[in-house]
């Protein structure tokens, strides 16, 4: 099973709202990722969690706040977003080798976020 699930599938929020995106995997992967993808562009890395600890933050604005409650779950809390934050938000996970190397990342279907 190489499935990563994401909820909700679509989300429309105003600039003053607070919402959360959720991601779950049951492949035993210990690395989980958040990406942002705009139309006709490649996925853009936002955050990486390794062994439930934040290992990479790609200088993402603080209005995006990640959380990894356990090894299967990853959340992205959203607050005071701007219209330009509208995009497809993708979660991914990967296995980590004993040396901490990751190889293939498996992506979820994404959450289509629209900020009005």
Partner 1 sequence: DQQVKQNSPSLSVQEGRISILNCDYTNSMFDYFLWYKKYPAEGPTFLISISSIKDKNEDGRFTVFLNKSAKHLSLHIVPSQPGDSAVYFCAASDNYNTDKLIFGTGTRLQVFP
Least distance in Å: CB of 39 to partner 1?
9
Please name the residues in contact with 113: beta carbons below 8 A apart, sequence gap of 6 or more: 11, 12, 13, 21, 78, 81, 85, 86, 87, 88, 89
DSSP E strand boundaries for 8-108: 10-13, 18-25, 31-37, 44-50, 53-57, 64-70, 73-79, 87-94, 106-107
User: Looking at beta carbons only, is 18 or 101 nearer to partner 1?
Assistant: 101
What backbone phi and psi angles, to 5 degrees, belong to 80? 60, 45
Contact mark string toward partner 1, 14..53, x via CB under 8 A:
-----------------x-x------xxxx-x--x-x---
Residue 6 belongs to what H/E stretch?
Answer: strand 4-7
| Site for partner 1 contains 4 (CB under 8 A) | yes
Place of tokens 């809390």: 77
User: Looking at beta carbons only, is 33 or 64 nearer to partner 1?
Assistant: 33
Interactions with partner 1, residue window 79-108 (CB under 8 A): 88, 90-92, 100-108
Least distance in Å: CB of 16 to partner 1?
27
Query: Which residues are at the interface with partner 1 (CB under 8 A)?
Result: 2, 4, 6, 31, 33, 40-43, 45, 48, 50, 55-56, 88, 90-92, 100-110, 112
């Amino acid at each position: 099973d190489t499935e990563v699930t994401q909820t909700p599938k679509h989300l429309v929020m105003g600039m003053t709202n607070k919402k959360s995106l959720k991601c779950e995997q049951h492949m035993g992967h210990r690395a989980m990722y958040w990406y942002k993808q705009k139309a006709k562009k490649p996925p853009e890395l936002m955050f990486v969690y390794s062994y439930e600890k934040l290992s990479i933050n790609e200088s993402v604005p603080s209005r995006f706040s990640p959380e990894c409650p356990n090894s299967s779950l990853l959340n992205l809390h959203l607050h005071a977003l701007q219209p330009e934050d509208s995009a497809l938000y993708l979660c991914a996970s990967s296995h980590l080798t004993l040396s901490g190397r990751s190889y293939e990342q498996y992506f979820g279907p994404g959450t289509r976020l629209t900020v009005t």
